[in-house]
Amino acid sequence: KAGVTQTPRYLIKTRGQQVTLSCSPISGHRSVSWYQQTPGQGLQFLFEYFSETQRNKGNFPGRFSGRQFSNSRSEMNVSTLELGDSALYLCASSLGTGTGLQPQHFGDGTRLSIL
Amino acid sequence: GENVEQHPSTLSVQEGDSAVIKCTYSDSASNYFPWYKQELGKRPQLIIDIRSNVGEKKDQRIAVTLNKTAKHFSLHITETQPEDSAVYFCAEGWSGTYKYIFGTGTRLKVLA
């Protein structure tokens, strides 16, 4: 099976712009979660989607949004970019169903740099 | 509150020695505890996980123990090798919220 695929791998933007990141989960996985990773802060949960519905959201401003399509692919959008948004954005997929939480599998991430 | 404390933040061991990383969580409802290894420039990879109905789980040189009463869980790596050098993250999650909380990571260095 192909793993979780994130595009693009690298992105450079300037303050005030907006950006859209894409994530294709492992085939058969219906849950997609997004995380922001910065040095010293670990992985901060952004949101989780399942069957095109957001089931949970982390403590991030409304500039961060996401969506999921019927084929389980997901996108996240960040508007009005700030310098502090520079980070590695990771996507993880899991089955999303069954008893209890399922293991998550991560993509390589998109490294976003804000100038 | 949502919090996972992970210690130590850095750990250096001699090749062949054991390494132990400990995480403490706050929500007694948490019932799933995975551990991830992230090598430099690579994606986090799941190395072992444990559910709340189990006290210990082992996979070759790696083991995880869970103490629900004290709300902490630990990763044990025996006979460490240079390729074990990486950042290790613990995480906790609970059914019904579809959300994982990660620790801040432990940088493990195995000295040859």
| Per-residue pLDDT tens over the stretch B48-69 | 999 988 899 999 999 999 999 9
* pLDDT on residue A2: 82
- Asked if the peptide bond before residue B8 counts as cis, ω within 30 degrees of 0, the response is yes
* pLDDT on residue B98: 83
d(CA A42, CA B3): 12
The answer to whether the CB of A68 falls within 8 A of the CB of A86 is no
Interface test with B, best of A43, A57, A59, A97 (most B CBs within 10 A): A43
Judging contacts by C-beta atoms under 8 Å, the chain A residues touching residue B57 are: none
Percent pLDDT > 90 in chain A is: 87
d(CA A47, CA A83): 21
Rounded to whole angstroms, what are the CA distances from A90 to A5, A23, A32, B15, B42? 10, 9, 10, 31, 11
Rounded to whole angstroms, what are the CA distances from B85 to A99, B80, B81? 34, 9, 8
Angle at B52 between CA B24 and CA B87, to 5 degrees: 45
Q: How far is B94 from chain A (nearest CA, A)?
A: 7
Q: Residue B88: helix, strand or coil by DSSP? A: strand
The arithmetic mean of pLDDT across residues A60-81, rounded, is 97
Nearest-by-Cβ selection for A100 from B32, B101, B104: B32
A and B: number of Cβ contacts within 8 A: 62
The answer to whether the CB of B79 falls within 8 A of the CB of B61 is yes
Q: Which residues pair with A113 in a beta bridge?
A: A12
